[in-house]
Amino acid sequence: MQRFQPILMVMTILSWLMLPAAALAQQAATPTEAGETLQIVAFGDSLSAGYGVGPGESFPEQLQAALREAGHDVSVANAGVSGDTTSGGLARLEWSVPQEADLVIVELGANDALRGISPEITERNLDQILAKLEARDQAALLAGMMAPPNMGPDYAAEFDGIYQRLADKYDVAFYPFFLDGVAAEPALNQDDGMHPNPEGVAVIVERILPAVTKALDAISAERETG
């Protein structure tokens, strides 16, 4: 699995940290009648929000299109906020993730690592997010992140293990690295070297699709037997 290149990180970290916390983006689609369409929420930072890409090119929109093309009756809502950290995500969970959501893709932590936030704090925040979703009886798919090399091996060792531990603790669907196949690939990223371009988003969707499909199948099976 590729990791961020140190030189690239040094050149781009300041621009990342200067990203303003934006208002929640519009939902990628509106579900039809209740119970007819499985509702997915992409709950994350600028990688979910669609920073720098056009209409129809964000992660939630491309994921929805791919799932529908595969025959899934779904709606994917965009609950991404540029510049968000796990602390910000925890603070807004109650009002940015509707109770009706069937599956929540949790994609947070990149900004924590880039800002050097203690992995202990990141893990505690993600733990509380997953606990709240569990209490609301909402399925989750945890998308992992990796610490940039310039943070050092000790920090990376603490940070990188967070996601697997929490996925095991809460027995949720898990995708190890959200930017797998895209990080440090110039052709798949915008000029800032950090945010995927539309082609990069397409790669993310292609790679995460099996994990999302498996989670949806589990939800559907539980409904049929429940």
- Give the integer Cα–Cα distance in Å for 45 and 22: 10
Burial group, residue 151, by CB count within 10 angstroms (0-12, 13-18, 19+): buried
Q: Which of 72, 180, 192, 220 is catalytic?
A: 192
- CA 39, distance to chain mean position in Å, is 16
Apex 207 CA angle, 202 and 209, nearest 5: 90
Tell me whether residue 46 is one of the annotated catalytic residues.
Answer: yes
Q: Which of 45, 58, 84, 195 is catalytic?
A: 195
How many residues are present in the chain?
226
Q: Which of 46, 48, 58, 82 is catalytic?
A: 46
Q: What is the dihedral of CA 105, 8, 187, 108, to 10 degrees?
A: 10
Tell me whether residue 192 is one of the annotated catalytic residues.
Answer: yes
- Give the integer Cα–Cα distance in Å for 197 and 11: 18
In sequence order, the β-bridge partners of residue 40 are: 76, 103
- CA 139, distance to chain mean position in Å, is 14
Which pair of tokens denotes residue 158? 């603490």
Nearest to 144 by CA among 159, 128, 157: 159
Tell me whether residue 127 is one of the annotated catalytic residues.
Answer: no
Could you list the active site residues? 46, 192, 195
